Structure 1
Amino acid sequence: MNLWAIVPVKPLHQGKSRLAGMLSVEEREALNFSLLWHSLEVLSSVELISRVLVVSKDPKVLATAREYHAVTLHSEDDRLNLNLDLQKADFMAKWQGAQEILVLPADLPLITAWDVYQLIQKAQKPKAMVIAPDRNRDGTNGLLFNPAEGSRYSFGPGSFERHLAFAKKNGYRVEVYESETFALDLDTPEDLSLLYEKDPNFFQKFAKPIRRNV
């Protein structure tokens, strides 16, 4: 098995803009960096993952990824088109031998290596697509294609249903991975408050500068 994990990351100063009324630019940047660090820590400890590929326009993000021996891809798209970046990263991974591809957004503060391992296990028998929805079953917080050939991405509002429709149309066996840890991504003030309820230590370990505002 040659499984690659692709992590798309917005520039640190641009991510989590919907938290602007709650956090300053500097605090959002600190939060985004903490989430990136957490994602790389988790993925680097999952033995089933052969390589991690980080795609971003942010030099600090790419430099941090290389510290974890990740492959990096600099996004040249000024429109910040997530799905276009993912297709480019997908092509690069396949060109370097990827047989399976996992896409993991870098804003999942509760995931652990065990969670990722459990998701991967659901795709052991091809042809499979495993999808982890967000807590509203609207967005996609984890997506794995086995085999990688034929993979397509449609992230954004309503992506859960779009990914399901694509998989069914193209003959993938669909596995939905329901997980509280995968379900919580950080986009809104409500998400941030939920994180503080579930794991207040997150702010002490990873994002101490923003703890006073939650």
Structure 2
Amino acid sequence: MNCWVVIPIKAPEWCKTRLAPVLGDRERRKLVADMLAQTVSAAQSIVGLQRVLLLGPSRHDLPGDIPLLPDAGQGLNVALEGARNAAIGAGVRRLLIVSADLPLIKADDVAALLNLPGESVAIAPDHAGTGTNAVSLPLPSAAKFAFHYGDGSFAAHRAEAGRLGLPFLSLRRRGLELDVDRPEELAFWRQSQAH
């Protein structure tokens, strides 16, 4: 299947600032780089090197052969619309948007986002069930899908699939649920790694 996995990522100095109370700048950048590398590796093992693209201003020291989509600095939702439009222009049939901060993501999580029936939209919620950690869109059917990242994004994305008349699936998987944004999530992840 002709697909793209797009991984949005901020500039290094703006990543994970909510972790500043518990991590210094160097530790924070290493954590971001490690989680991004994990996500890229999981995706590349399923879709190949050239179908995994970063969306943002920096590759975070990842190899230069990873395509980098531009971010005009108008916010994540606008940047994702640009990525969606670029994917449609490239003839992509399924577009995956996967968060860069999923330390438990594995190749089979990416495969689950791809192996969907027909024109289904799938959303992988965060552990609280309110945020969105991954989106899988059929193209061109979802060409008008509006992104709603921010508070309550899971419900907003589910409603968007309904607005377009596309079947919706909630994809709850351990590797897609835990995103590390806040100190308590970092502590939970570290504790789970210790067992």
Q: Structure 1 length as normaliser, TM-score?
A: 0.84
Query: Where does residue 38 of structure 2 map in the other structure?
Result: 38
Does the alignment pair 1:12 with 2:4? no
Does the alignment pair 1:139 with 2:110? no
Does the alignment pair 1:75 with 2:110? no
Q: Distance in 2 between matches of 1:41 and 1:82?
A: 23
Q: Distance in 1 between matches of 2:187 and 2:24?
A: 16
Does the alignment pair 1:120 with 2:114? yes
Instruction: Measure how far apart 1:49 and its partner are.
Output: 8.8
Instruction: Measure how far apart 1:153 and its partner are.
Output: 1.2
Point out where structure 1 has 5 or more consecutive residues left out of the alignment. Answer: 202-214
3-state SS in 2 of match to 1:46: helix
Does the alignment pair 1:197 with 2:195? no
Question: Percent identical across equivalent pairs?
Answer: 30
Q: Structure 2 length as normaliser, TM-score?
A: 0.91
3-state SS in 2 of match to 1:142: strand
Query: Where does residue 181 of structure 2 map in the other structure?
Result: 187
Tell me, yes or no, if the aligned pair for 1:3 and 1:48 is still in contact at 8 Å.
no
3-state SS in 2 of match to 1:13: helix
Query: Where does residue 29 of structure 1 map in the other structure?
Result: 29
Does the alignment pair 1:165 with 2:159? yes
Tell me the matched-pair count. 193
**CA RMSD of superposed structures (Å):** 1.9
How has the CA–CA distance of structure 1 residues 97 and 71 changed in structure 2, closer, same or farther, with 3 Å as cutoff?
farther
Instruction: Measure how far apart 1:48 and its partner are.
Output: 7.9
Query: Runs ≥4 in structure 1, deviation > 3 angstroms?
Result: 47-50
